[in-house]
């Protein structure tokens, strides 16, 4: 009889402990106290402030921590990853990481290293200024689209190319690189062009030769889209 009483008392104590833990866990979820943030320095002040406002709003409702991270990524496309740390008393800490910028496109958009397109104003302005710039030719009011071929081209070329040329993508068979040193010369390339040292040496030599001829101030196109062949022509299509 004493043994049965001892066993029963043990079960009751265990039940109280387990029940108390579950109650505390549920109470912590429903009575969340604070959500603290650690925000990536790459974010603009606008996004930083919006994340803080989002956290204050979420403190008023009972969203589970796991779902909270998903909501952040859905509402903020510039967010790459959210780490969540929660305590038993309901406090939550969010560590929010930004997408890594790769190139600025058409002044208003950023292609990230993950291949996503985000708005430039989501990233801190000084970071945006350091990015290489590329233009994608598009029709008025047409939504910006960065094709797979264009993305491969962007990954293919070296960053220092942007220092010397203004790069405009039309399609895989036409990419224009306008020389920043002299506005009279534009390289015509494709997404398969190999920008080797030998190619640029030939281009510089050709540029020097044309500069000594009459009519050197015309707009010249240097077509390097064909293997082992460079074609020079002016804006009227006449070969040089």
pLDDT tens per residue across span 220-234: 999 999 988 899 988
Nearest to 96 by CA among 151, 158, 33, 54: 54
Is the pLDDT score of 202 beyond 80? yes
How many other β-carbons are positioned within 10 Å of the β-carbon of residue 68? 20
For the beta sheet containing 101-105, the strands, ordered from the edge strand earlier in sequence to the opposite edge, are 117-119, 109-112, 101-105, 133-136, 165-171, 174-179, 185-189, 220-226, 229-234
Confidence of residue 3 (pLDDT cuts 50, 70, 90): very low
In angstroms, the Cα distances linking 178 to 162, 185, 189, 211 are 10, 6, 11, 16
Can you give the pLDDT at residue 28? 46
The Cα–Cα gap between 62 and 132 comes to: 43
Helix (H, G, I), strand (E, B) or coil at 195: coil
Distance (Å, whole) CA 216 – CA 212: 7
DSSP secondary structure string for all residues of 123-174 = B-HHHHHTS-EEEE---TTPPP---HHHHHHHHHS-THHHHHEEEEEEETTE
3-state secondary structure of 207: helix
At 192 the pLDDT is: 92
Mean pLDDT (the chain) is 85
Confidence of residue 68 (pLDDT cuts 50, 70, 90): confident
Q: How high is the pLDDT of residue 52?
A: 94
Tokens of 13: 């104590």
Distances (CA, A) of 185 to 12, 103, 165, 208, 225: 87, 24, 10, 11, 15
Question: How far apart, in whole angstroms, are the C-alpha atoms of residue 150 and residue 134?
Answer: 10
Give the confidence band of 138 by pLDDT, cuts at 50, 70, 90.
confident
Average pLDDT in the 57-83 region?
89
pLDDT of the residue at 89: 78
Q: Around Cβ 45, how many Cβ atoms within 10 Å? A: 9
Q: How far apart are CA 154 and CA 151, in angstroms?
A: 5
Full-model pTM: 0.79
- Local structure of residue 87 (DSSP, 8 states): -
Q: Indicate the pLDDT class of residue 237, thresholds 50, 70 and 90.
A: low
Q: How far is CA 26 from CA 23, 58, 71, 85, 86, in A?
A: 5, 17, 21, 16, 13
pLDDT in tens, 74-107: 999 999 999 998 887 778 899 999 999 999 999 9
More confident residue, 19 or 120: 120
User: Does residue 141 surpass a pLDDT of 90?
Assistant: no
* Candidate ranges 101-115, 129-143, 192-206; pick with highest mean pLDDT: 101-115
Residues 207-232, mean pLDDT to the nearest whole number: 83
What is the pLDDT at residue 215? 62
The residue among 156, 160, 197 whose CA lies nearest residue 175 is 156
Average pLDDT over residues 150-159: 92
Q: Is pLDDT at 126 greater than 90 in this prediction?
A: yes
Which neighbouring-strand residues pair with 97? 81
């Amino acid at each position: 009889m004493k043994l049965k009483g001892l066993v029963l008392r043990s079960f009751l104590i265990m039940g109280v402990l387990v029940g108390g833990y579950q109650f505390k866990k549920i109470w912590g979820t429903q009575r969340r106290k604070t959500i603290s943030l650690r925000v990536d320095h790459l974010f603009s002040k606008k996004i930083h402030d919006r994340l803080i406002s989002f956290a204050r709003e979420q403190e008023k409702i009972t969203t589970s921590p796991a779902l909270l991270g998903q909501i952040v990524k859905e509402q903020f496309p510039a967010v790459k990853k959210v780490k969540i740390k929660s305590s038993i008393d309901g406090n939550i800490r969010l560590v929010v990481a930004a997408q890594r910028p790769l190139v600025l496109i058409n002044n208003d958009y950023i292609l990230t290293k993950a291949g996503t397109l985000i708005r430039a104003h989501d990233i801190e302005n000084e970071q945006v200024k350091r990015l290489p710039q590329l233009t994608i030719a598009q029709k008025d009011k047409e939504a910006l689209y960065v094709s797979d071929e264009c993305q491969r081209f962007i990954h293919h070329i070296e960053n220092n190319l942007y220092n010397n040329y203004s790069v405009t993508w039309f399609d895989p068979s036409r990419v224009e690189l306008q020389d920043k040193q002299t506005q009279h010369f534009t390289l015509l390339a494709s997404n398969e062009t190999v920008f080797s040292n030998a190619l640029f040496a030939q281009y510089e030599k050709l540029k020097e030769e044309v500069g000594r001829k009459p009519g050197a101030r015309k707009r010249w196109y240097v077509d390097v889209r064909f293997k082992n062949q460079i074609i020079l022509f002016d804006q009227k299509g006449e070969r040089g």
